Copies of this chain bind each other. A is one copy, B any other.
């Protein structure tokens, strides 16, 4: 409840993407910022963080980069992906654009390069200090202190601060302290998909060339499992297999021999297999990791401590919004700081109240997209809907945005609003197509009006029924 002044000492736990951006922004605002990161400095040591190598970077994330003034530097790390390259089982491909507006695309970016840039920028501020190899073991949220293990000398120490912000990811130590402390009612959920994932790779061609089309997110959707690939700057692609642990003919638990892995890929991902002579080595060297969603509330304890980023809301990767959502946390938090409140508790309360509905929504949208990517993208009615939406976005760029566009390219629309409007639009189009009330051969302007009217009806019906 101390008055908030710039001289306050802020302890950030975790120097991943969210923590290093937060350190940079709070450094710019003049706070005394200390960051403790459990891993070694990724700028000095080549570490596989056990997390995805590359990520989808889009407009919400970019808004945060603009806020801290490094938009251009980040752009240099980006590879634009204009759409989904859909690979069918025969190896035929079709490019399904993400938007009907040409300037709307997503980017593939290296987690490590981006994190390094954020660390460099944060450390330019004298009032920001970053320590590596310090693992947080627990947080005393009543005393606003955190216990760390220092791996450099194998000792433990307690760090005191005016405020602690934990950006220590999906396995957050501070969130665990909230849960185990039982000092307040802490709502918490962890939900695992039946599918896990494994990272594989398509190596660069000669002279760093790309062995398949560079500017797309490649998808081999096979209903109950899928493979995707995102390009890297060196000409390689990071490939990810999403597959059930124990269901279906082929699953992670029974893909235990070289022969069976090759059989599986040969049967379902023939054209990908041809680009991956290194498949079997990758498959057996790389870990299989689970896919989980974490939600919790409250994020803060009084004005002492706050969870941000994945520590507060870990989501599955299928909307490409995990990093973008965490970056947007920092933008939203910064906006509340701008409001000039006197104490941290008020700031934390306002921040959570405005933010949580949106991070809950992107968590649910990401689960939706798992099913969309695996299978719906191959279905006739879904493809017809997308064809119509691309035409609407192209010809009426100011009047229509698909759910995907609302989520990905409309950084000034909250995730929750994007979810409600986007789902209503999808429902309107799919139903009017099914009922023959909409014909994609009809005049586009007429179809736009039909979709808008039906969408409003759906939203209004839900409001009256008290469902939304």
Q: Give the interface of A toward B (CB within 8 A).
A: 185-192, 245, 290, 292, 295, 371, 376, 423, 426-427, 430-431, 434, 461-462, 464-467
Cβ B190 vs Cβ A465 within 8 A: no
Instruction: Provide the residues of chain B in CB contact with A290, threshold 8 Å.
Output: 185
Instruction: Provide the residues of chain B in CB contact with A467, threshold 8 Å.
Output: 423, 427
Smallest CB–CB gap between A274 and chain B, Å?
Answer: 33
Please pick, from B187, B376, B426, B464, the residue contacting A430 in the complex, using a CB distance under 8 A: B464
Instruction: Provide the residues of chain B in CB contact with A371, threshold 8 Å.
Output: 466
A430 to B431, CA, bound (A): 21
Cβ A189 vs Cβ B192 within 8 A: no
A442 to B376, CA, bound (A): 44
Cβ B190 vs Cβ A188 within 8 A: yes
Smallest CB–CB gap between A251 and chain B, Å?
Answer: 14
Most-contacted residue by chain B among A245, A290, A434 (CB, 10 A): A434
Cβ B188 vs Cβ A427 within 8 A: no
Smallest CB–CB gap between A366 and chain B, Å?
Answer: 16
Q: Other than A186-B192, A187-B190, give 14 A-B pairs with Cβ distance below 8 A.
A: A185-B245, A185-B290, A186-B190, A187-B189, A187-B191, A187-B192, A189-B190, A189-B295, A423-B467, A426-B465, A427-B461, A427-B465, A431-B461, A431-B465
Cβ B464 vs Cβ A434 within 8 A: yes
Smallest CB–CB gap between A379 and chain B, Å?
Answer: 10
4 closest A-B pairs by CB: A189-B189, A427-B465, A185-B192, A187-B191
Smallest CB–CB gap between A50 and chain B, Å?
Answer: 16
Smallest CB–CB gap between A348 and chain B, Å?
Answer: 15
Instruction: Provide the residues of chain B in CB contact with A462, threshold 8 Å.
Output: 427
Chain A interface mostly: mixed
A461 to B465, CA, bound (A): 15
Please pick, from B189, B190, B292, B461, the residue contacting A191 in the complex, using a CB distance under 8 A: B189
A245 to B245, CA, bound (A): 43
Please pick, from B188, B376, B464, the residue contacting A189 in the complex, using a CB distance under 8 A: B188
Instruction: Provide the residues of chain B in CB contact with A292, threshold 8 Å.
Output: 185
Smallest CB–CB gap between A403 and chain B, Å?
Answer: 12
Also in contact, A431 and B464, with CB within 8 A (given A185-B290, A290-B185) = yes
Smallest CB–CB gap between A110 and chain B, Å?
Answer: 29
Subset of 20 A-B contacts with CB under 8 Å: A185-B192, A185-B245, A185-B292, A186-B192, A187-B190, A187-B192, A188-B189, A188-B190, A189-B189, A189-B191, A189-B295, A371-B466, A423-B465, A427-B461, A427-B462, A427-B464, A427-B467, A430-B466, A431-B465, A434-B464
Cβ A465 vs Cβ B192 within 8 A: no
A423 to B466, CA, bound (A): 10
Instruction: Provide the residues of chain B in CB contact with A188, threshold 8 Å.
Output: 188-190
Smallest CB–CB gap between A426 and chain B, Å?
Answer: 6
Smallest CB–CB gap between A193 and chain B, Å?
Answer: 9
Chain B residue with the shortest CB-CB distance to A424? B465
A423 to B468, CA, bound (A): 13
Instruction: Provide the residues of chain B in CB contact with A427, threshold 8 Å.
Output: 461-462, 464-465, 467
A186 to B185, CA, bound (A): 21
A188 to B430, CA, bound (A): 34
Instruction: Provide the residues of chain B in CB contact with A464, threshold 8 Å.
Output: 427, 430-431, 434
Chain B residue with the shortest CB-CB distance to A427? B465
Instruction: Provide the residues of chain B in CB contact with A465, threshold 8 Å.
Output: 423, 426-427, 430-431
Chain B residue with the shortest CB-CB distance to A434? B464
Instruction: Provide the residues of chain B in CB contact with A187, threshold 8 Å.
Output: 189-192
Most-contacted residue by chain B among A186, A189, A430, A465 (CB, 10 A): A465
Chain B residue with the shortest CB-CB distance to A458? B461
Smallest CB–CB gap between A287 and chain B, Å?
Answer: 14
A189 to B185, CA, bound (A): 13
A461 to B426, CA, bound (A): 11
Most-contacted residue by chain B among A186, A430, A466 (CB, 10 A): A466
A461 to B461, CA, bound (A): 12
